[in-house]
Amino acid sequence: MMITASFNILTLKRFFILIVSLSFAGILTAQDLPDKPEIQRVTIDTSYHGQGYRVFVEWLPSTSPDVSHYILYKETPNLDFIKIDSVLFNVTGYIHVLPEPENLSYSVTAKDSSGNESLLTPGVHRAVHLKAEFDECYMRNLLSWSPYEGWDNNLSVYRIYVAEEVGPFAFLDIAKPSEIQYQHRNIEGNRSYRYLIEAVRTQDNLVSHSNIDLVETLLPEIPAYLQIDYVDVIDEASVNISVTADPESEITAFQLLRSTQFDADFLIKNTFENDYHSTFSISDHVATSGNPYFYRVDAIYQPDGCPVSRVVRSSNIGSTILLSGEENNNNVSLSWTPYRDFPGGLAGYEVSRKIEGEYVDIEYTGPGTTQFNENISSILDGPQPGEIKYRIKAIGSPNAHDPEGGESHSNEISIELETRFYMPNAFTPNGDGRNERFGPVIDFAPESFLMIIYDRAGRKLFETEDPYEGWDGRFKGGGRVIEGVYVYHVQFTEYGGRMQTQTGTVTVIYP
Q: May I ask the CATH architecture of the domain 5-126?
A: Sandwich (2.60)
CB 74 within 8 A of CB 96: yes
Is the pLDDT at 323 greater than 70, yes or no?
yes
Tell me whether domains 323-416 and 421-508 share a fold: yes
Grouping H, G, I as helix, E, B as strand and the rest as coil, residue 271 is strand
* pLDDT tens-digit readout, 282-321: 999 999 999 999 999 999 999 988 998 889 999 999 999 9
Q: Return the CATH fold of 421-508.
A: Immunoglobulin-like (2.60.40)
* pLDDT tens-digit readout, 105-139: 999 999 999 999 999 889 999 999 999 999 999 99
Looking at residues 484-504, what average pLDDT do you find? 88
| Cα–Cα distance, 476 to 479 (Å, whole number) | 8
Task: Provide the pLDDT for residue 16.
Answer: 45
Is the pLDDT at 362 greater than 80, yes or no?
yes
Task: Provide the pLDDT for residue 18.
Answer: 46
Q: Rounded to two decimals, what is the model's pTM?
A: 0.65
Is the pLDDT at 272 greater than 70, yes or no?
yes
Task: Provide the pLDDT for residue 25.
Answer: 40
How much is the mean pLDDT over the chain? Answer: 89
Local confidence band at 10 (pLDDT 50, 70, 90 cut-offs): very low
| Cα–Cα distance, 501 to 384 (Å, whole number) | 19
Nearest CA-CA partner of 143 in 217, 209, 55, 215: 215
Domain positions in the chain: 5-126, 130-216, 226-319, 323-416, 421-508
* pLDDT tens-digit readout, 78-93: 888 999 999 999 999 9
Q: How far apart are the first and last CA of the chain?
A: 128
CATH of domain 323-416: 2.60.40.10
CATH class of 226-319: mainly beta
| Cα–Cα distance, 397 to 325 (Å, whole number) | 27
Local confidence band at 15 (pLDDT 50, 70, 90 cut-offs): very low
Task: Provide the pLDDT for residue 372.
Answer: 97
Task: Provide the pLDDT for residue 5.
Answer: 34
- The DSSP secondary structure of 379-393, one letter per residue, reads TTSSSB-SEEEEEEE
* pLDDT tens-digit readout, 398-442: 998 888 889 999 999 999 877 778 899 999 999 899 999 999 988
CATH of domain 130-216: 2.60.40.10
Local confidence band at 495 (pLDDT 50, 70, 90 cut-offs): low
Helical (H) or strand (E) element with 9: helix 5-22
Local confidence band at 1 (pLDDT 50, 70, 90 cut-offs): very low
Cis amide linkage into residue 122, ω under 30° from 0: yes
